[in-house]
Amino acid sequence: MKYLFASLFFVIELMCATAFAHKPSDSYLTITGGEEYLTIEWDIALKDLEFLIGLDENQNGEITWGEVKARRKAVTAHALSRLQISHRGYDCQLKLLDVLATRHSDGGYVVLSLSTDCPGDAAELTIHYNLLFDVDPTHRGLVHYTNGEIDSTYVLSPESPLLELKTGEVNRWNSFVAYVEEGIWHIWIGYDHILFLLTLLIPAVLIRRDHQWQPVESFRPAWTSVLKIVTMFTIAHSLTLWLAVMEYVTLPGWIVEAAIAFSIIVTALNNLFPVLHLSGWAIAFGFGLIHGFGFANVLIDLGLSSVSLGIALLGFNVGVELGQLAIVAVFLPLAYLMRSTTFYRWAILRCGSILVAVIAAIWMYERIFNATIVGL
Partner 1 sequence: MKRQYISFAFRLLSCFVIAGSIGESPASAADAYLPASDDEVLETLPSTLLSSRSELSSLRRKLADNPRDVNTAASVASLYMQMGSQEGDPRYFGYAQAALEPWWEVNNPPAAILRLRAKLKEKDHQYDRALDDLKTFLEHEPQDIQAWIEVSNIYRVQGKYDKSQQACDRLGEFAGDVVANVGLVPLLISTGQAEKADKLLADMLPIIKRESPETLEWVLTEQAEAARALGRDEQAERHYKEGLANNPANLYLLRACADFLLDQNRTAEVLPLLEEHTTDNGVLLLAAIAARRTGKKKVSRDFQTQLENRFEEIRLRGSEPHGRFESRCALELQDDAQKALTLALDNWEKQKEMNDTRNVLAAAIAANDPQAAQPVVRFLKQNGNQDVDLQELVEQLEEME
Those residues with Cβ within 8 angstroms of residue 56's Cβ, 6 or more apart along the chain or in another chain: 50, 62, 63, 67
Cα 53 to Cα 4: distance, rounded to the nearest angstrom = 41
Nearer to partner 1, 74 or 100 (CB): 100
Q: Are strands 140-147 and 26-32 parallel, antiparallel or unpaired?
A: parallel
Nearest residue (CB) to partner 1, 329 versus 371? 371
Name the minimum Å distance from CB 27 to partner 1. Answer: 9
State which residue, 150 or 229, has the beta carbon closest to partner 1: 150
Q: Which is nearer to partner 1, 1 or 275 (CB)?
A: 1
Binds partner 1 (CB under 8 A): choice among 78, 130, 154, 207: 154
| Closest CB to partner 1 among residues 272, 302 | 302
- CA neighbours closer than 13 Å in the CB half-sphere of residue 283: 28
Question: Contact region for partner 1 (CB under 8 A) — 51-59, 201-209, 234-242, 282-290?
Answer: 51-59
- Judged on CB neighbours under 10 Å (0-12, 13-18, 19+), 361 is middle
Using CB under 8 A as the binding rule, whether residue 136 contacts partner 1 is answered as yes
d(CA 254, CA 364): 10
Task: Considering only the stretches 179-187, 227-235, 263-271, 350-358, report the one whose residues sit in contact with partner 1 under the rule CB under 8 A.
Answer: 179-187
Q: Containing H/E element for 261?
A: helix 253-272
Of 342 and 370, CB closest to partner 1: 370
Torsion angle in degrees (nearest 10) through CA of 252, 234, 174, 93:
-70
Q: Which of the stretches 20-28, 116-124, 217-225, 240-248 binds partner 1 when contact is defined by CB under 8 A?
A: 20-28
Q: Are 261 and 316 in contact (CB under 8 A)?
A: no
Q: 97, 155, 278, 358: which one contacts partner 1 (CB under 8 A)?
A: 155
For residue 345, CA distances in Å to 68, 183, 215 come to 80, 32, 9
* Residues of span 31-50 touching partner 1 by CB under 8 A: 41, 43, 45-48, 50
Residues 184/315, Cβ–Cβ less than 8 Å: no
Among the residue ranges 178-186, 214-222, 228-236, 273-281, the one whose residues contact partner 1 (CB under 8 A) = 178-186
Torsion of CA 92, 93, 98, 102, to 10 degrees: 40
Identify the H or E element spanning 165: strand 162-166
137 near partner 1 (CB under 8 A): yes
Q: Which of 135, 276, 326, 337 binds partner 1 (CB under 8 A)?
A: 135
303-322 residues in contact with partner 1 (CB under 8 A) are 303, 305-307
Nearer to partner 1, 113 or 130 (CB): 113
Give, as ranges, the residues between 91 and 120 that touch partner 1 (CB under 8 A).
Answer: 100-111, 113
| Least distance between partner 1 and beta carbon 253 (Å) | 10
Report which of 312, 285, 294, 293 is spatially closest to residue 231, judged by C-alpha positions. 285
74 binds partner 1 (CB under 8 A): no
User: Which of positions 217-276 make contact with partner 1 (CB under 8 A)?
Assistant: none
Query: Which region, judged by CB under 8 A, interacts with partner 1, from 62-70, 121-129, 264-272, 334-342?
Result: 62-70
Q: Which is nearer to partner 1, 126 or 340 (CB)?
A: 126
* Cβ distance to partner 1 smaller for residue 109 or 331: 109
Under a CB-based contact definition with an 8 Å cutoff, are residues 31 and 120 in contact?
no
Under 8 Å CB-to-CB from 164, ≥6 apart: which residues? 124, 125, 126
Binding window for partner 1 (CB under 8 A); candidates: 9-17, 80-88, 227-235, 273-281: 9-17
